[in-house]
């Protein structure tokens, strides 16, 4: 990607807004969506992210005005040599159930063979079904080349992409975005996009949700401000490509399988668009964390950036939660995350630094999975170092140089066999807790414990 391309990028600010953007002045119709003849001879095409009859407050759709409509392609055919490690149906035939705590070391991005974003995408775990429109999948990717002569389209759900190494230059039907490690990008269901790698090899994480869309969490007693601000989410501005592109491939993920169709033009031929169903990115350094200011450790839900809710209030299909740099000031409090068993399941990744609950073994680019009701918490070294600090533990300290995240879901994940068999899997993960020893004493400072039997 040339430097002048980066300088030309412009964004529209706000999450949930209804935007209008045109690359050529006068290319948007005025006063209606689908006139008999669109300005500049363009085709009108609507992309719907919700059903037509979804209530207005949550209805998502965008009108695209393009040089040729997206329907102009050859029939789709299955790609037998791609997508073998993608899953869209999580059952006993495709995945394995295990309550064991799991951890993976970071996978090296191979230099050979050439792998673009599609080739390098593989499923780790998930739940539910893309066909039944309920569930999620968690993927990782490791790519070493830009996509060339093809675009990707996910018909199954929304992608939330978390790059950990190397920037992603993403071209979508709404325009272009540059996404760096420390930022995230959401590509809603149905959008066609292509990923270039301006820094060379890249790796990262992807969550995918079926039948729902991400939104900002309710703030409750926090009030009107804090956490992620809508104005910090950025969507692209209209950009189009008119060149003749014989043999251009549209690769579509459908039911977890990949299909391809060819056409003779770029899918990025949208001259203008308007609507509220758009790709967007977010800089995680803009997140305004809230924390305890007196005692005890707040629940991690206070660090939710985006959520995909279910019909049950307060229960998420998938939350995206981060653990960013912040001040720790709680008094007489064990400040790292507490030991925990959760009705939710937690998949964690580390973008950079050291995670506060794991002194060793959890590395940038790695991952861990703690499923429903599986106990987890700080490793032995973290626990012992924390409780040994004495009165020093009451002093304010700044957690810096770290950025971890969590995909948390109410659905119990099933794990792909290749993830369990991966050479990157840390088979000794359980050992990080084995060293935890009993500090129990029935006497505290020489006095009988409360409730202890005493003789006169």
Catalytic residue set: 297
Distance, in Å, from the CA atom of 172 to the CA atom of 189, rounded to the nearest integer, reads 12
The answer to whether 108 is annotated as binding is no
Q: DSSP letter string over 84-117?
A: TT--SB-STTTEE---S-EEEPPPPPPSSS---T
By the 8 A CB rule, do 146 and 201 touch? no
Tokens at 300, concatenated: 């991690």
Which residues neighbour 12 within 8 Å (Cβ) at sequence distance 6 or greater? 19, 21, 234, 235, 236, 237, 278
Cis-peptide into 113, omega within 30 deg = yes
Which residues neighbour 51 within 8 Å (Cβ) at sequence distance 6 or greater? none
Strand partners, 178: 169
Tokens at 83, concatenated: 């997508």
The answer to whether 22 is annotated as binding is no
Which residues neighbour 26 within 8 Å (Cβ) at sequence distance 6 or greater? 39, 40
Helix (H) or strand (E) holding 374: none
3-class secondary structure for 1-16? CCHHHHHHCCEEECCC
Residues 345, 185, 71, 138, Cα dihedral to 10°:
-20
Helix (H) or strand (E) holding 259: strand 257-265
Nearest in space to 83 (alpha carbons), one of 174, 148, 30, 156: 156
The answer to whether 346 is annotated as binding is yes
Distance, in Å, from the CA atom of 141 to the CA atom of 413, rounded to the nearest integer, reads 19
Which residues neighbour 69 within 8 Å (Cβ) at sequence distance 6 or greater? 43, 45
Tokens at 237, concatenated: 């501005």
The answer to whether 355 is annotated as binding is yes
Distance, in Å, from the CA atom of 389 to the CA atom of 387, rounded to the nearest integer, reads 6
Helix (H) or strand (E) holding 189: none
Annotated binding-site residue numbers for homogentisate: 346, 355, 376
Residues at the annotated binding site? 340, 346, 355, 376
């Amino acid at each position: 990607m040339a430097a002048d391309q980066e300088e030309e990028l412009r964004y529209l600010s706000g999450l949930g807004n209804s935007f209008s953007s045109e690359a050529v002045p006068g290319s948007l119709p005025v006063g209606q969506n689908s006139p008999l003849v669109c300005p500049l001879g363009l085709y009108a095409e609507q992309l719907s992210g919700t059903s037509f009859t979804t209530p207005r407050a949550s209805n998502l759709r965008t009108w695209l005005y393009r040089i040729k409509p997206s329907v102009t392609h050859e029939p789709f055919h299955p790609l037998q040599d791609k997508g073998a490690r993608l899953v869209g149906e999580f059952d006993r035939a495709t995945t394995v159930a295990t309550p064991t705590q799991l951890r993976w070391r970071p996978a090296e991005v191979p230099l050979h063979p050439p792998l673009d974003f599609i080739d390098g995408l593989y499923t780790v775990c998930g739940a539910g079904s893309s066909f039944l429109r309920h569930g999620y999948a968690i993927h990782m990717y490791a790519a070493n080349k830009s996509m060339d002569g093809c675009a990707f389209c996910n018909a199954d759900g929304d992608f939330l992409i978390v790059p950990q190494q190397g920037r992603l230059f993403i071209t979508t039907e709404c325009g272009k975005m540059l996404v760096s490690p420390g930022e995230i990008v959401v590509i809603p269901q149905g959008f066609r996009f292509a990923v270039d790698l301006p820094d060379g090899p890249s790796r990262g994480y992807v969550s995918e949700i079926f039948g729902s869309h991400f939104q900002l969490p309710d703030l409750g007693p926090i009030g009107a401000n804090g956490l992620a601000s809508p104005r910090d989410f950025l969507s692209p501005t209209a950009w189009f490509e008119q060149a003749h592109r014989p043999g251009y491939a549209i690769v579509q993920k459908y039911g977890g399988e990949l299909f391809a169709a060819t056409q003779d033009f770029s899918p990025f031929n949208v001259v203008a668009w308007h609507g509220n169903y758009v790709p967007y990115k977010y800089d995680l350094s803009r997140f305004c964390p809230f924390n305890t200011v007196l005692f005890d450790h707040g629940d991690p839900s206070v660090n939710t950036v985006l959520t995909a809710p279910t019909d049950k209030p307060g229960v998420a299909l998938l939350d995206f939660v981060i653990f960013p740099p912040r001040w720790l000031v709680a008094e007489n409090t064990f400040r790292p995350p507490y030991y925990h068993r959760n009705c939710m399941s937690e998949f964690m990744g580390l973008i950079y630094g050291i995670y506060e609950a794991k002194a060793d073994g959890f590395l940038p680019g790695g991952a861990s999975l703690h499923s429903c009701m599986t106990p987890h918490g700080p490793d032995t070294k973290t626990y012992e170092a924390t409780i040994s600090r004495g009165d020093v533990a009451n002093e304010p300290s700044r957690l810096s140089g770290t950025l971890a995240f969590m995909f948390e879901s109410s659905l119990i994940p099933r794990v792909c066999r290749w993830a369990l068999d991966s050479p990157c899997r840390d088979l000794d993960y359980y050992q990080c807790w084995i060293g935890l020893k009993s500090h129990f004493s029935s006497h505290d400072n020489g006095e009988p414990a409360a409730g202890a039997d005493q003789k006169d």
